[in-house]
Amino acid sequence: MTGPSDDRHSFRDVGPVQSLRTPSFEFAEVTRHADLAEHDRRLDELARRAHTAPVADRLLELSTMASDTLQEMSLVIGDDGEDLLEDGRANAHAGEYGTALELLTEYLRGRPGHQEARYLRAFCMYRLEGQDRVEALRTLRPLRDEPMEEGLREQVRELRRELRRLLTPLEVGAYARTARSDPRSALERAEAFLELAPEEGSLSCLVALGQARAGALDQALETATRGAAEADVDREQVSALARRLLLPYLRPAAAPAVAAFKARNPRLARAELARMEPRWRRSAVIEDFDAYLALCVTGWTGASPPAPRLPDDRADDVYSLIAEPDGQSAAALMQAGLAEAAEQVLARVLPLVPGFRWLNFLYAACLLRLGRDPERAAACAEIAGRDATITQAGELLAAIRGWQEATVINPAVDEYVAAMKSVSGGVSADSLARLRTRLTVLQRGLPALRAAALSEQGGQVVRELEKAIGQRLSEVGDAMVVADLYDRYDAAMAPVQGGLTDTAAADRLARSLDDLAARIKDKRRAAGKGTGQEQFEKLAELVSMRRAELDRVRAGLLVSDLVKRFNELVKPQRGSEYSDMPMTVRDFLAPPPPDPYTLRTKLSGIREEARALRRNHKKTLAARETELLDELIATISKVLG
């Protein structure tokens, strides 16, 4: 009969818990302003605005008051051609715009500078629609700057505003359709239209950005500066762009002041600004820098200077004046794969410009690449996200959030995997206890993991880990019960590793196995319909198999015992063990033979036991044992007659 079993608990397969994969991030931001990204972003913005621009539900009408005034103005010119002008005016008021246009065009051949006629001609082209509206705007462009009677000036201004409203979206749309395929032609057309409508600030921005992208920085600065001066729409945007385009020209002039500021000497920096050439000193950026230095003189008490008391875009220009060259240097180092060197550059200058959004973007990207200080990286990325021109800021923050999650969640996942591997080669009560302790520690840390999960992916990994830990702990509880039962099984089977020699030992083992079977039944019932039922079933089957085997062995032992008892009754009464002794001694030591009655009684008893064994153990008796019993019964019956 076999002894202890090596069939131990094995954990069932559950869905694997995967480590959190961090989003990838490829650093691409090198330049800050007036680059391809901002040009395309502004172009898309204007194209959307043009696409959604409301359609005019009415057209302008000639003002009666304006007509009377214009008649008075025209009468002082003289009689030459006045009939053409009067007829043109009358037809325009009557809505006969085509006829009026012909008359006015003829009139202007003789008097090309006549303001009333030029205005009326442009108005007729406006009402006739089509490409003539661009010509109308071109006709009105000189009138915008000429001195004239206030009533006429207001009419010119109103008509130009209406023409700009109608034509600017069309021009932006045309630029958007061709800017990527034929940027030069698209830019030339936009520049020509901007000459007709310099009040359009957004268009000035778009043209200046296109010029800067083409490498014409001087022309871009001139366009933005002019737009800032003349725009009556989106003036703040074009003014901000003009300031930024001016920065490359200001940096050499402001270099001594910037160096003094970086040396933490704002008084000296202000003195250096005072020595700048007046043409640079009067620029808005330098004036803002000087005001900031004045604040630093009294307010710089810590490691970093105070924040500028300026709007975000103007503060960003001051920061750019101070530190953009450092940022460009760091960006070049990062693109060359020298993130460690880039980090040193940024760590040195960022405390001086802590609100500089672009520099915060660079530092966050650098820390992400180095795998260092995720909390600081996230804070910098959040600051960078406040600048809409940094197109990668959102992507960077998402990557850092994923990195933050991974630094907290992945070690827990790794510990779970390691804990389960520790019992992959088999289990014992001690190994299960250690496993339960490790899983319990992980379970207690789940609230912190849930708090660290900042994305849907992170939350999913934590939920999977939580489910797996709960399942494993439940299974470990069952496994520890099963392991204890296996230990009891091994203890019962250990004495019979060399085999059973008598029925007493078999009876003791039978009692142990029966007791163990009852315990398995109780524990299995207590466990309920959980994941450990399979292990209870396996052990119950093993005990049942051993119990059946024991019944066969015990039956064999009983047969052997009956045969042995029979042989002892019928062997020679003066046994061979005394055959080498003298007769007198042998007769003295050998037991006396039983009397015939006792012999018959014992033989009858052996026969009845054999018959009972033969009858009651049919399923457990081997064929040879059955044959022996039959021979024994027959022999005894023959002896007894």
* CA–CA distance, 402 with 411 (Å, rounded to integer): 14
Domain boundaries defined on the chain: 60-70+80-242, 246-389, 404-471, 534-569+593-640
DSSP-based three-state secondary structure for 233: strand
Q: Is the pLDDT of residue 65 over 50?
A: no
Is the CB of residue 552 less than 8 Å from the CB of residue 510?
Answer: no
Quickly state the pLDDT bin for 2 (edges 50, 70, 90): low
Q: Looking at residue 487, what is its pLDDT? A: 81
Q: Looking at residue 263, what is its pLDDT? A: 94
Q: Average the pLDDT over 165-186 and give the result.
A: 89
Q: Helices 36-51 and 150-178 meet at what angle, rounded to 10?
A: 120
Q: Is the pLDDT of residue 274 over 90?
A: yes
Q: Looking at residue 521, what is its pLDDT? A: 84
Question: How far does CA 313 lie from the centroid of its chain?
Answer: 30
Question: How far does CA 85 lie from the centroid of its chain?
Answer: 72
Check residues 564 and 322 and name the one with the higher pLDDT: 322
- Rg of the chain on CA atoms, in Å: 52
DSSP-based three-state secondary structure for 265: coil
Check residues 576 and 386 and name the one with the higher pLDDT: 386
Q: Average the pLDDT over 421-429 and give the result.
A: 79
Residue 4 CA: distances (Å) to CA of 26, 38, 108, 426: 60, 77, 120, 15
Quickly state the pLDDT bin for 328 (edges 50, 70, 90): very high
Using alpha carbons, select from 364, 367, 262 the residue that is nearest to residue 304: 262
Looking up tokens 């520890």 gives 480
Looking up tokens 């009651």 gives 616
Segment holding 606, helix H or strand E: helix 596-616
Q: Looking at residue 288, what is its pLDDT? A: 95
Average pLDDT over the chain reads: 83
Q: Is the pLDDT of residue 73 over 60?
A: no
Report pLDDT digits (tens) over 453-502: 878 888 888 999 999 888 888 888 777 777 778 888 888 888 888 788 78
Q: Average the pLDDT over 221-239 and give the result.
A: 88
* CA–CA distance, 523 with 397 (Å, rounded to integer): 53
Q: Is the pLDDT of residue 270 over 90?
A: yes
Q: Average the pLDDT over 180-207 and give the result.
A: 90
Looking up tokens 């790794």 gives 414
Q: Looking at residue 42, what is its pLDDT? A: 62
* Residue 510 burial (CB count, 10 A): 17
What is the per-residue DSSP string for 146-192?
A: S---HHHHHHHHHHHHHHHHHHHHHHHHHHHHHTTT-HHHHHHHHHH
Percent of the chain's residues with pLDDT above 90: 35
* Residue 364 burial (CB count, 10 A): 29
Report pLDDT digits (tens) over 22-62: 666 676 655 554 444 566 666 666 666 655 555 444 567 77
510 is written with which tokens? 């039978």
Q: Looking at residue 572, what is its pLDDT? A: 63
Report pLDDT digits (tens) over 349-391: 999 999 999 999 999 999 999 989 999 999 999 999 998 888 8
Q: Looking at residue 163, what is its pLDDT? A: 93
Using alpha carbons, select from 134, 123, 121 the residue that is nearest to residue 170: 134
Q: Looking at residue 504, what is its pLDDT? A: 84
Residue 287 CA: distances (Å) to CA of 164, 241, 354: 34, 17, 20
Q: Looking at residue 224, what is its pLDDT? A: 87
Q: Looking at residue 140, what is its pLDDT? A: 94
Quickly state the pLDDT bin for 126 (edges 50, 70, 90): very high
Q: Average the pLDDT over 195-210 and give the result.
A: 89
Is the CB of residue 94 less than 8 Å from the CB of residue 87?
Answer: no
Q: Is the pLDDT of residue 3 over 80?
A: no
* CA–CA distance, 350 with 366 (Å, rounded to integer): 13
Q: Average the pLDDT over 77-95 and give the result.
A: 80
Quickly state the pLDDT bin for 447 (edges 50, 70, 90): very high
Pick the CATH number of 60-70+80-242 from 2.60.40.10, 1.25.40.10, 3.30.70.890, 3.30.590.20: 1.25.40.10
Is the CB of residue 235 less than 8 Å from the CB of residue 226?
Answer: no
* CA–CA distance, 105 with 87 (Å, rounded to integer): 12
